[in-house]
Structure 1
Amino acid sequence: MSDEPVDDRDVEGPDEPRDDRDVDGLEAPRDGPDERQPRPDDTAGSDPRPDAGPPATDDAAGPNLETDGEGVVGDSPNPEPTYPDPDDDIGGISTPPDDEEMPLADHIEEMVLRLAVVLLFGAGGTAIGLLWASNAIEFVWFNVFPYDAGEVPPPHVYNPLELWLTRIKISSLLGIMIALPAFVYECYLFMRPGLYPNERKYYLAAVPTSVVLGAIGMLFSYVLVLPILFRYFTYYAEGSANIAYALGDTFNLIITLMGFLAIVFQIPLFIMLAIMMGVTTRRWLAQKRLYFWAGFAGLSFMFTLDPTGMAPILVAVTMILLFEGTLFILKWVGRT
């Protein structure tokens, strides 16, 4: 045994507990005994155990995202965007249940195909009407003039194609009557994905109502407006000229008035739909009635080409009566 003193560095004594207090005498917070994180030098020279798996990467704890201070620059953890359900509210505005995005070319193609169906119905109705066009011309001619059966002035033809053009025009009325329901229904099918359920209900109710009101308007024109108008024309022309009505010009006036009054009789439907959908109220329409009257008069003189003013006056009075009658019915049923 050597008498030389042993170097303190060669003698390992028992581990003394370290004082974790800081310089101020306060104990530093420590994690639990099992939560102390090893330093990088503790494991630098150690050999990995055979049964140990690969070292853990950042993917286990989450993606390593690079940011620029305002947002994520690297790959997003969800690369595929998510879209809201069509039935959910987006920004406080709900979308129709069947609404979906379509390319513009698909919309145009669908619209063209639906218009082609309407034109097919109209062309078929016009072709059928040509079979009885001559009988229809005779029937209309002898019923719109205020004469007895034997005193009605015969129609006069002033160009070679006037009779055929008049046949086509009178046949087109039948084609329009057949194509109108098809047009309204095809419009409904085209707009259906973008309509809410309550709007679909109103539209479907408006389809047959519109057709019925159009037929009533044409019948009203044929039974009441045209006889009054031709009575007036005959009255101021009898004493100064021989009456000889041209076939083409006479039927142009007849077809124009019948078609325009078919549109005029849609006024009650438009008012009812506007009130039911919350666009306006009966009280507001009643307060602005003078403006509507002026608009009706302007439309009548614009679309009814009669220099005497008789036809525009009859049409304007009809429009005002329809407007006021609808407001009266709404007030009677308690709508405000």
Structure 2
Amino acid sequence: MDDDDRPSDEPSDPEDLSPSVESRRSTTVDDEVLGEDPASTDEEDADGNVEEETEGVEGDEDGGDEIDDEDGPDDDEDGPDDDATDGEDEDDTDENDTTDGDDEDDATDGGTPATAGDAEDLGGIQGPETDEEMPLAEHIEEMMRRLAVVFLFGGLATLVAVTESTELINYFWGYHIPAPLENRPRLYGPLELPLTRLKVAGLAGVVVGLPAFVYQTYRFMKPGLYENERRYYLAAVPTSLVLGGIGIAFAHFLVLPAIFSYFTTYTSDAATIAFGLAETFNLIVIMLAFMAIVFQIPLFIMLAIMMNLVTRQWLQDKRLIFWGSFLGIAFLFSPDPTGMAPIIVTLTMIVLFEGTLAILRWTGN
């Protein structure tokens, strides 16, 4: 075929393709700037196959450098296969990143347990020097062994007191009840006397077993306590026992005789009072225990101030609230419907409260 018969759109020489390709590229860039679809531009060409062959020829001549530097419409639009390939690359990248992060974490952790020196370097909490790691079973075994010692002391004291319970009942009755020979105890049930004996013996067992319980508790906790905590415990617990003993003595020698004297006087004109054995000893035991707790008020105030929970000035400003609380507690727990015992207990609590504040003010705390 001659050159004249050849279609005008088909180039005769591959070297003549450069201007058309360059014009096509500029048209494509303009279309992309104007927002037109590059695919529509390809459709407007006379023959897409010729353009592809032209691009191939141009790529062979120029070594593919210029076409690689400037992306054509086909490079801008990724096909489904390209998207899938990109997605796989992204997933692989994420997995590699995660794996690398885990490897770095494992390398950082090292798997070596921390020591006491590491805890000090990092500002951690280190246990006392005497603290020893023990299995839970051994802790429970030690606790049960020490509780057995406490129950042994309390049980022995109870057994001894049972044999002397009649003398103890006569002692309490003769000291607290006015005219004990005239106001002999009344029995309103067949089990009142044996139950009262057990109650008195149990009270003796508690009095003896409580110091043993405090000591065994300290021995159990001692390995895990710091030196300052040991001093704090040894200062607070014996003080609590001493205050409790003072409260029991105060109730025994002052409060209970005053209450029973009031009982015998306010009913003398109307009727003759009869003291039941069980009810009378219930009142005695409850008042003794209640006054032992009431006398812990100074210790509670001191501990609250030492722990920076309250201040002396705050307690002084709220004293009326505390007085009202003392009155409500006394009427709630005192087993005396006449009001005599609650009033005595309330006055005792107020005196302890104000006396503790006065001592703190005097010492400058």
Q: Tell me the CA shift for residue 67 of structure 1.
A: 7.4
Task: From 115, 132, 149, give the equivalent of 1:117.
Answer: 149
CA–CA separation in structure 2 for the residues paired with 1:176 and 1:89: 48
Match of 1:273 in 2: 303
Q: How does 1:67-86 map to 2 (within 5 A)?
A: 68-72=99-103, 76=107, 78-85=110-117
Q: Tell me the CA shift for residue 90 of structure 1.
A: 6.2
Of 176-185 and 192-201, the range deviating more from structure 2: 192-201
CA–CA separation in structure 2 for the residues paired with 1:192 and 1:86: 25
Match of 1:25 in 2: none
User: Quick check: 2:158–2:204 contact (8 Å CA) kept in 1?
Assistant: yes
CA–CA separation in structure 2 for the residues paired with 1:86 and 1:313: 60
Task: From 133, 140, 146, give the equivalent of 2:172.
Answer: 140
Q: Structure 2-normalised TM-score?
A: 0.65
Q: Tell me the CA shift for residue 294 of structure 1.
A: 2.6
Q: Tell me the CA shift for residue 138 of structure 1.
A: 0.7
Task: From 244, 248, 251, give the equivalent of 2:274.
Answer: 244
Structure 1 residues 297 and 92 mapped into 2: Cα distance closer, same or farther (>3 Å)?
farther
CA–CA separation in structure 2 for the residues paired with 1:253 and 1:307: 11
Q: Which has the larger radius of gyration?
A: 2
Counterpart of 1:167 in structure 2: which amino acid?
A: R
* Structure 2: gaps (5+ residues): 1-96
Q: Tell me the CA shift for residue 270 of structure 1.
A: 2.2
Q: Tell me the CA shift for residue 318 of structure 1.
A: 0.9
The answer to whether residue 190 in structure 2 is matched with residue 157 in structure 1 is: no
Q: Tell me the CA shift for residue 201 of structure 1.
A: 0.4
Q: How does 1:1-336 map to 2 (within 5 A)?
A: 68-72=99-103, 76=107, 78-85=110-117, 88=120, 95-99=127-131, 106-147=138-179, 152-335=182-365
State the identity %: 54
Of 99-108 and 124-133, the range deviating more from structure 2: 99-108
* Structure 1: gaps (5+ residues): 1-65
Counterpart of 1:72 in structure 2: which amino acid?
A: D
Q: Secondary structure of 1:293's partner?
A: helix
Alpha-carbon deviations, 1:116-148, whole Å to 9, x = none?
Answer: 32222211111111122111111111111234x
User: Quick check: 2:334–2:342 contact (8 Å CA) kept in 1?
Assistant: yes
Match of 1:11 in 2: none
Match of 1:33 in 2: none
| Count of aligned pairs between the two proteins | 268
CA–CA separation in structure 1 for the residues paired with 2:350 and 2:362: 18
Alpha-carbon deviations, 1:269-294, whole Å to 9, x = none?
Answer: 22223333444332222222223223
CA–CA separation in structure 2 for the residues paired with 1:229 and 1:86: 64
Of 162-171 and 73-82, the range deviating more from structure 2: 73-82
CA–CA separation in structure 2 for the residues paired with 1:90 and 1:310: 62
Q: Structure 1-normalised TM-score?
A: 0.71
User: Quick check: 1:214–1:263 contact (8 Å CA) kept in 2?
Assistant: yes
CA–CA separation in structure 2 for the residues paired with 1:79 and 1:239: 87
CA–CA separation in structure 1 for the residues paired with 2:193 and 2:171: 15
Q: Secondary structure of 1:88's partner?
A: helix
Q: Tell me the CA shift for residue 182 of structure 1.
A: 1.2
Q: Tell me the CA shift for residue 97 of structure 1.
A: 4.0
Going by fraction, where is helix more abundant, 1 or 2? 2
Of 171-180 and 248-257, the range deviating more from structure 2: 171-180
